């Protein structure tokens, strides 16, 4: 437990930030999963490209906000593009 007011405040801030980051990570994971499913289904190239575009956008947004490291976002975008182009 925190021993002073500053530590209590820091704890409140960390909790708030953790919840915010978790929601952003969840959105990113959802978009990446949708993109992968669209690529694997192979029904329509345009749908797959749109899903990948949405996933890349969310990855960039998360990296910009500092939720994930920029290199992590770049690596995940690269893997998505590689899957899309291999199809």
Residue 17's pLDDT is 97
For 6, 30, 79, the CA distances from 26, given in Å and listed in that order, are: 30, 6, 19
* Residue 38: Cβ-neighbour burial (10 angstroms; 0-12, 13-18, 19+): buried
pLDDT at 1: 84
CATH architecture of the domain with range 16-86: Up-down Bundle (1.20)
Summarised one tens digit per residue, pLDDT across range 12-71 is 999 999 999 999 999 999 999 999 999 999 778 899 999 999 999 999 999 999 999 999
The pTM of the whole model exceeds 0.75: yes
Find the mean pLDDT for residues 75-87. Answer: 94
Domain ranges (residues) in the chain: 16-86
């Amino acid at each position: 437990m925190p021993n002073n007011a500053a530590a209590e405040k820091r704890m409140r801030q960390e909790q708030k930030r953790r919840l915010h980051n978790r929601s952003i990570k969840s959105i990113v994971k959802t978009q990446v999963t949708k993109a992968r499913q669209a690529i694997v289904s192979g029904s329509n190239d345009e749908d797959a490209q749109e899903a990948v575009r949405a996933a890349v956008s969310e990855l960039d947004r998360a990296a910009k906000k500092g939720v994930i490291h920029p290199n992590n976002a770049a690596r995940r975008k690269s893997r998505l593009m590689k899957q899309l182009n291999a199809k």
